A = this chain, B = another copy of it.
Amino acid sequence: MAKRTAQDIRRRNRFDALRCVFAAPGPVSRQDIAETTGLSFATAANLATELLEAGVLREAGREESKGGRPRARLAVNAERGALIGIDVAETSVQVELFDLALSVLHSLRLPLRGADVRPEEVVGTIVAGVEQLVVASGTRPESVLGAGVSVPGLVEREGGVSVFSPYWSWRDVPLRALLAEQLTMPLYLDNPLKAATVAEMWFGAGREVDDLVVVTLRAGVGAGIAVDGALYRGASNSAGEWGHTCLIRDGRECRCGRRGCVEAYVSTRGVVRTLREVAPDSPLLDADEATVVGAVARASAAGDPVAAETVARTARHLGMAAADLLNLFNPQALVLGGWVADRLGEPLLEQAREVIAAHALPATLQALTLRLSAVRGNPVALGAATFALEGFLDDRETFGTVAAGRRAARAARERTS
């Protein structure tokens, strides 16, 4: 039986209180936090005080309350510190600097060269990117509260290890330890599916619903799952490996070595392969894969039948695969994100919607909202920075028993002095 300690519950409550402040259109009162989270007023007020003392929240005016004292209104204290989100992709590394309200302050993209990139090159690129960003933005290095790093494949979070990479011949690379030799801020490692999902939970569809599937379609394909407002990781942090479930038995070869995987049809490369099936000589094929997907979207919008057929087949593959995924998870929302979804956009969504409607069960459909991700910018970098925020909120020096003990000791000293 898993142990759920009082500390776990406090951490979860702290996350929920802060998510509520982030999701609100303006400053909120302690009463608002209590009403949105379902926590008691006393608990919500304590959490708010704790977040104020840690500087994560700030007072932002007061509102009159019926027959009582004016209530303090609280907002995120964007200046409290900076967070860094890093998206390591197949051919580039994107490094973004955020304030504590998770607004992007600076962003840069550095290329990775060659086919089998070594861990040292990725580490060097990340370190160079972080240093450039910090200098360019005039940020004091000690004000960076943490950096989240997304690397593709299977990640062992606690140890900060890249267990397996789909692109490179990495095995059990202790990425966090390698980075920690050159970077001083706390570092958090996870993969892009988890990062995109946590971004959606804090800043996208997760503001409205707690049971959510986030499908990411880019070079890799997979799903992130939020259950009851928490990221569902499974027993070894590999839950949501939808990209390598079987869509068509004995179908297209997949880079994982299996055949007929979902990813072989709806990834960037999958769309290119579909276009090649539709029209092997299409001039749209003369570019790198990501560019081809954008060209297909534009040509389809302009009425090109080959491009339209490519979008239609992609939507059919996506819809068939998503229907099964949805029958299994029965979420309140399915969110489509990543390069393929961003580029093919509404036409992909609407055609996939019809296929899903024809193939998912009525109970699944009834509960479901289907949408494109509304998270702006790069959700993977944002999600990585959000992991750093969550890590900071979990810091026992700033929050929790250590800090509470310190506060109690200070209060006692003040009483006796």
A328 part of interface (Cβ distance < 8 Å):
yes
| CB atoms of A235 and B324 under 8 A apart | no
Taken together as a complex, chains A and B put the C-alpha atoms of A248 and B154 apart, in Å, by 28
The chain B residue with its CB closest to the CB of A156 is B363
Q: Mark A234-278, 1 if CB is under 8 A from B, else 0.
A: 111111111011111100000010100000000000000000000
Question: In whole Å, how far is A359's beta carbon from the nearest beta carbon of chain B?
Answer: 7
| CB atoms of B38 and A236 under 8 A apart | no
Q: Mark A1-30, 1 if CB is under 8 A from B, else 0.
A: 111111001000000100110010000000
A280 part of interface (Cβ distance < 8 Å):
no
Taken together as a complex, chains A and B put the C-alpha atoms of A226 and B37 apart, in Å, by 24
Query: Residues of A at under 8 Å CB distance from B?
Result: 1-6, 9, 16, 19-20, 23, 36-40, 154, 163-164, 207, 210-211, 223, 227-229, 232-242, 244-249, 256, 258, 320, 323-325, 327-332, 359, 361-364, 366-368
Taken together as a complex, chains A and B put the C-alpha atoms of A154 and B366 apart, in Å, by 12
Taken together as a complex, chains A and B put the C-alpha atoms of A3 and B35 apart, in Å, by 9
7 smallest CB-CB distances across A and B, nearest first, come from: A3-B38, A234-B330, A235-B367, A238-B363, A245-B324, A239-B330, A236-B367
Q: Known contacts being A211-B235, A241-B364, A367-B236, is A1 close to B36, with CB within 8 Å?
A: yes
The chain B residue with its CB closest to the CB of A245 is B324
Taken together as a complex, chains A and B put the C-alpha atoms of A207 and B1 apart, in Å, by 7
- Copies of this protein in the assembly total 2
> Which residues of B have CB within 8 Å of A361?
154, 238, 241, 244, 256
Taken together as a complex, chains A and B put the C-alpha atoms of A245 and B324 apart, in Å, by 5
Taken together as a complex, chains A and B put the C-alpha atoms of A245 and B356 apart, in Å, by 12
The chain B residue with its CB closest to the CB of A240 is B328
Taken together as a complex, chains A and B put the C-alpha atoms of A37 and B4 apart, in Å, by 7
Q: Kindly identify which residue among B3, B237, B324, B325 contacts A37, using a CB–CB cutoff of 8 Å.
A: B3
| CB atoms of B154 and A363 under 8 A apart | yes
> Which residues of B have CB within 8 Å of A363?
154, 163-164, 236-238, 241
The chain B residue with its CB closest to the CB of A211 is B235
Taken together as a complex, chains A and B put the C-alpha atoms of A16 and B163 apart, in Å, by 33
Question: In whole Å, how far is A15's beta carbon from the nearest beta carbon of chain B?
Answer: 11
| CB atoms of B164 and A362 under 8 A apart | yes
Q: Known contacts being A9-B9, A362-B164, A363-B154, is A330 close to B3, with CB within 8 Å?
A: no
Taken together as a complex, chains A and B put the C-alpha atoms of A78 and B6 apart, in Å, by 31
Instruction: Tell me which of A36, A244, A245 has the highest count of chain B C-beta atoms within 10 A of its own C-beta.
Output: A245
If A1-B229, A5-B38, A234-B331 are given as contacts, then 17 extra A-B residue pairs at C-beta distance below 8 Å, sorted by A number, are A1-B23, A1-B36, A1-B38, A2-B38, A3-B38, A6-B39, A164-B362, A234-B330, A236-B364, A238-B363, A238-B367, A241-B363, A246-B320, A246-B323, A246-B359, A247-B249, A249-B249
